[in-house]
Amino acid sequence: MDLSAKYISIYYINGQIQKYVPTYELNHPPFTNKPCALMKDKFVSLLNATGRQGINSVITYLEKVGFFEAPASINRHLSYEGGLVEHSLNVYRMAMMLREQMILMKPDTAEQLTKESITIAALLHDVCKANIYKQAKKWRKDEQNRWEQYDTYEADYSRFPLGHGEKSVIMLLRLGLQLTNDEVLAIRWHMGAWNLPFQSYEDKCNISEASDHPLTAIIQAADGLATHIMEK
């Protein structure tokens, strides 16, 4: 190999190699299989720490409608008592990790990715599910092909049939929670492309624009990673 036409630069770097330690307070394993009371305490503590106007009325409402006992889904992820608060905490945990890495790579996003906004959007993105699930009993075939009854959940959308992310936003605003524009967009469009099949052309344009906002992109990614990887 002819090195005569090559230019070689030598750099000397002074410094120390240190172990990376995240600055967010999440040095614990995922919240999976934690008792409901512990998850509720963590959830409430994180929201109270924001000091956001209206947060107390939100917490009171969530307690009243059974948010902390609700499942995250009927038969997909975390479909058991306490699954919804567990999922919300997992999204928060993932979003905080993504936030820190994004700020390291693109420091100018820091102003749009405040810890307070991450907390609000991640923990409250699914409040629309707070009172739609009810316990039910159904029948199925067991391994011996015999019928057996089992406990499950059913969804009832009749109370306030207004969609998903947009329903969460409206519920929070009606409860008196002050939300920034970025928080509204992140909660409204947290489902990302999953929210598109039955949407209008205008909505598809809106989600395209909203997804360019760093907070929306972070919450979309965190929700997807929590649902499809952490909670499997």
Mean pLDDT of the chain: 85
Is there a contact between 196 and 223 (Cβ–Cβ < 8 Å)?
Answer: no
Q: Which residue has the higher pLDDT, 139 or 101?
A: 101
DSSP 105-136: H-GGGGGGS-HHHHHHHHHHTTGGGTTTEEEE
pLDDT at 175 over 50: yes
**pLDDT digits 0-9 by tens, 46-87:** 999 999 999 999 999 999 999 999 999 988 899 999 999 999
Instruction: Kindly report the pTM of this predicted structure.
Output: 0.81
Scan for tokens 């492309």, then name that residue: 193
DSSP 38-101: HHHHHHHHHHHHH--TTHHHHHHHHHHHTGGG--S-SSSSS-STTHHHHHHHHHHHHHHHHHHH
d(CA 89, CA 123): 6
**pLDDT digits 0-9 by tens, 150-169:** 787 888 888 888 888 999 99
**pLDDT digits 0-9 by tens, 184-207:** 999 999 988 666 555 677 777 877
Mean pLDDT, residues 128-145 taken together: 87
pLDDT at 1 over 50: no
pLDDT band for 29, please (50, 70, 90 cuts): very low
Burial 165-183 (b: 16+ CB within 10 A, else e): bbbbbebbeebebebbebb
